[in-house]
Structure 1
């Protein structure tokens, strides 16, 4: 790969340093003329009128079929923290868990006279994200200032890429791999991907006594962290599609190595733009933006509520007012934050202290050639031979725990399949490991409130356990007991064979001709004459499983299930 100085060449155009006296007015004029092209804008030219707002929770006459006469349009603006060790324009380290205000450089705190300096390594994960979203990487991009005054923005402006983003014109396709119906396909356009600074974190502290007023504390650790903002076109038509799109983009960011964490850890936040228009009419309705949603559920619920609210307003004879709203997840409703007249409110202007960014094609080519498999590719791989998982299990495997279960699953499969005495077919083995990874192990960890990252059962231990199971050396019931012992002991060095021997859980080598086992089975059948009669009459043949289960329990789970099945079948065939 070329050295960073050759890959990223920056130039400082003379004009940016010589026209400062009139650059503000010039950019305001540009913003005024182009506000209809604003990022994610869904607004129409209809002037706003006082809205009839019956509240988010109100239901119109179309509450059961709210989209019947209305065309719903949704766009997403997704903000993801990049996988970078330092902030975008300062030397301070990025951190989620450091002590408040311990990761702050002078520029992050808005210290007068301190100029921003681009950290080149932050560009690499940003390009990974854009390439994974099938975007065009623009050779030349530039930074702008987005002006607003709030306690979480010390400089009074945010550096972003409004006019000239580094990537644009991407796309992704939603289909059955994303939870849609088999015949359903939705193509989502990615309008642009831009780099920008994160804001500080505001922590509200309510009043605890009359002498201690409520206050808001500001933690600058997050201020200036490198983000990408991913802006979709208004091509989503429902809350379900929006949730699927957000989930897919999160998976792509994680798999490509672009993002730090998902929404559950605060690494991804989302704004949604929602509008409705009567079906059959051209254009889009006036958009309403809902800010700072921090979960996929919040995105889905807020869109549903906003659709209901807008339909109720329109059916009452009112007009939708372009505005920004906030979402209260506890109340399940949104509230108006401010009127939205257009992006010109932010007074966008080019940042005169930052030169344009020139991205060399050699870097883009290298990132494309080394991009890891993306979620759709991983799901397809897990559904194919040799793993042969179902679509549901493959999707779950990829979605859970930032994909950590996929590598765990593959490690177990490779271990068992490479043993010379492994005799299960690859298809059976893949499904067996999938079931135990997702359900048996996953369920026990969840019931014990153990996060996957703290999973005490190593891939080697799980491979040994499942090898004993598929070789018939232990029954499924007793294998579950061994798993519980491994979880409770939290001993990563414990040998599965030793646990089986210590607790006397090994399968006993007994055939279906064993007289003592047959006598035990006949005794169990005699205890339930009504059920036995239903089997013999042919009314409920599946009740045989009831007797098989009882026979296994009576033997302490040490007899192979096939042997128990053979004996029960023989009793009812005589």
Structure 2
């Protein structure tokens, strides 16, 4: 028996009944109720956290901050669907390669196309990234989980049902904490419960083609390449207080999925989709209001805007004497409004039934322990590390470093820091070395790459080159202005192995050895001051002391950037102090 087979064991349950196509609807409803009673378990008190009381603004509504009206409280929950980092589909063991960029319908497995007679077979490696996601979200991994069939008929679902884990998910009872690391106020903390994490199949992709002429009508085409791909659905408890918190929660979960290796692509590439559930209730009335779901949101901006619009819509309906209908709505980003798609389906509508072809999934504790011990650092851990010694980055820079390019800049930044620290040897690292490297990694280098339309993955500056340049800069061997010139030369150079010292020498950019007592430098400074007598008078009168920066900049420019800025500053200060 293979290692994976020992770790993930399946046992076929005793099947009491099997759904047949000729069973009447009333029989299905009775069977559904029996299955629901047996499958559902009581929720813990943490699953129904208190909702937020909203404060009234003098004018209009501000649902992004949680302020709508003194009469109402709002509750928001998220359902996040993420494509797992798995090379094969979930239940198609053969011909099951996952691909999202291949020509339409070129990667279609028989089961996922609804081919008659083909049975599902669990592709065991797809379980591993799913467990990574659940562990990173601090969920309890359930030793036994099972698969259900969720029946509905749509063109993107060839089998007429979706295999999911609605009643017996493989993970549940997780948690997430939102705080200042996620953009909230310093004193603000939001506890978000993760009700469950379940595995399920993805659907096919519908591609709408508008009419191009009277003879060619509009049509919708279906690409089955995505059908059957492995997903995790992450369901939060209704614990979010506003659209701002929902956006922060979604952003954080995306970061966790990427950092843990559970998912590769985020919302910007279609790898993550989100449904939001929004309800309002009068303050003081127990329970939650009628829930409305907005489906298939594909960006954090869409999530935030759709929640704000839905809160405003529900408040308007209730305040005009109407009642909120339980329904599923779609979001129109261009119009900034949602539209009704259908009434909200219940569990009976989907006719959930245990999948008769798939045995329960038994997850061995040794696998969970191994994944926990090998889980890479998560975004919060990395941000905290970058903000602490020896790096000492600001919260803004640390967050930016982690968010950009899937965190690729963090490794680059650390490599540069370690290189310079090694060159310093026994010397203590300069106090602001971490901030200096962070500024050049994010702003100087990052800004130049962006302005030249160069992706970070194609960054031509090696860590050795940047470390060499900043070693010269922090040692006073080159000024900041000339260091920027060197960086420009390196980016434009066709030689990827260009040496920083050679560039400095070739362009005569080395710092000129001098001091604030240098007669030639003082003479040059006096000449520059004499060119602006009015501004010099304003400085001497104390009206505009900040104008000294003008003279410091002009002095540095006149020296070709070869004199250290502190020397130039001292010379100008001395002239105006006399």
TM-score of the superposed pair, with normalisation by structure 1? 0.92
Report deviation, 1:36: 11
Question: For the structure 1 residues 216 and 358, does the alpha-carbon distance in structure 2 shift closer, same or farther, using more than 3 Å as the test?
Answer: same
**Residue in 1 aligned with 2:570?**
566
Write the mapping of 1:142-291 to structure 2, written as runs, cut at 5 A: 142-291=146-295
Asked if 1 retains the 8 angstrom alpha-carbon contact of 2:257 and 2:263, the reply is yes
Report deviation, 1:273: 0.4
**Residue in 2 aligned with 1:48?**
none
Q: For 2:85 and 2:158, how far apart are their aligned partners in 1?
A: 23
Asked if 1 retains the 8 angstrom alpha-carbon contact of 2:86 and 2:126, the reply is yes
Number of residue pairs matched? Answer: 555
CA displacement 1:26-56 (0-9 Å, x = unmatched): 54224777999999xxxx9xxxxxxxxxxxx
**Residue in 2 aligned with 1:112?**
116
Q: For 1:269 and 1:250, how far apart are their aligned partners in 2?
A: 10
Name the SS of the counterpart of 1:150 in structure 2. Answer: coil
**Residue in 2 aligned with 1:333?**
337
* Range moving further from structure 2, 1-10 or 304-313: 1-10
Name the SS of the counterpart of 2:423 in structure 1. Answer: coil
Question: For the structure 1 residues 30 and 408, does the alpha-carbon distance in structure 2 shift closer, same or farther, using more than 3 Å as the test?
Answer: farther
Q: For 2:133 and 2:28, how far apart are their aligned partners in 1?
A: 32
Q: For 2:428 and 2:480, how far apart are their aligned partners in 1?
A: 15
Q: Is 1:13 the counterpart of 2:13 in the alignment?
A: yes
Report deviation, 1:212: 1.8
Asked if 1 retains the 8 angstrom alpha-carbon contact of 2:39 and 2:168, the reply is no
Asked if 2 retains the 8 angstrom alpha-carbon contact of 1:196 and 1:226, the reply is yes
Question: For the structure 1 residues 175 and 511, does the alpha-carbon distance in structure 2 shift closer, same or farther, using more than 3 Å as the test?
Answer: same
**Residue in 2 aligned with 1:294?**
298
Q: Is 1:73 the counterpart of 2:75 in the alignment?
A: yes
**Residue in 1 aligned with 2:547?**
543
Asked if 2 retains the 8 angstrom alpha-carbon contact of 1:2 and 1:363, the reply is no
**Residue in 2 aligned with 1:390?**
394
Q: For 1:386 and 1:60, how far apart are their aligned partners in 2?
A: 47
Report deviation, 1:367: 0.9
Q: For 1:490 and 1:84, how far apart are their aligned partners in 2?
A: 38
Report deviation, 1:556: 1.9
**Residue in 2 aligned with 1:54?**
none
* Range moving further from structure 2, 460-469 or 508-517: 508-517
* Range moving further from structure 2, 506-515 or 100-109: 506-515
Q: Is 1:521 the counterpart of 2:519 in the alignment?
A: no
Q: For 2:202 and 2:101, how far apart are their aligned partners in 1?
A: 16
Report deviation, 1:20: 4.5
RMSD (CA atoms)? 2.4
Q: For 1:390 and 1:111, how far apart are their aligned partners in 2?
A: 56
Q: Is 1:135 the counterpart of 2:139 in the alignment?
A: yes
Question: For the structure 1 residues 94 and 177, does the alpha-carbon distance in structure 2 shift closer, same or farther, using more than 3 Å as the test?
Answer: same
Asked if 1 retains the 8 angstrom alpha-carbon contact of 2:80 and 2:234, the reply is yes
**Residue in 2 aligned with 1:84?**
86
* Range moving further from structure 2, 329-338 or 22-31: 22-31
* Range moving further from structure 2, 464-473 or 493-502: 493-502
Report deviation, 1:532: 1.5
Report deviation, 1:538: 2.5
Q: For 2:509 and 2:570, how far apart are their aligned partners in 1?
A: 21
Name the SS of the counterpart of 1:190 in structure 2. Answer: strand
Q: For 2:426 and 2:499, how far apart are their aligned partners in 1?
A: 19
Report deviation, 1:61: 7.1
CA displacement 1:461-482 (0-9 Å, x = unmatched): 2112211211222211121122
Question: For the structure 1 residues 61 and 325, does the alpha-carbon distance in structure 2 shift closer, same or farther, using more than 3 Å as the test?
Answer: farther
Of 361, 380, 384, the residue aligned with 1:380 is 384
Work out which structure has the larger RCO, using CA pairs closer than 8 Å and 6 or more positions apart in sequence.
1
**Residue in 2 aligned with 1:471?**
475
Q: For 2:454 and 2:332, how far apart are their aligned partners in 1?
A: 29
Asked if 2 retains the 8 angstrom alpha-carbon contact of 1:127 and 1:137, the reply is yes
Name the SS of the counterpart of 1:557 in structure 2. Answer: coil
**Residue in 2 aligned with 1:52?**
none
* Range moving further from structure 2, 91-100 or 205-214: 91-100
Name the SS of the counterpart of 1:187 in structure 2. Answer: strand
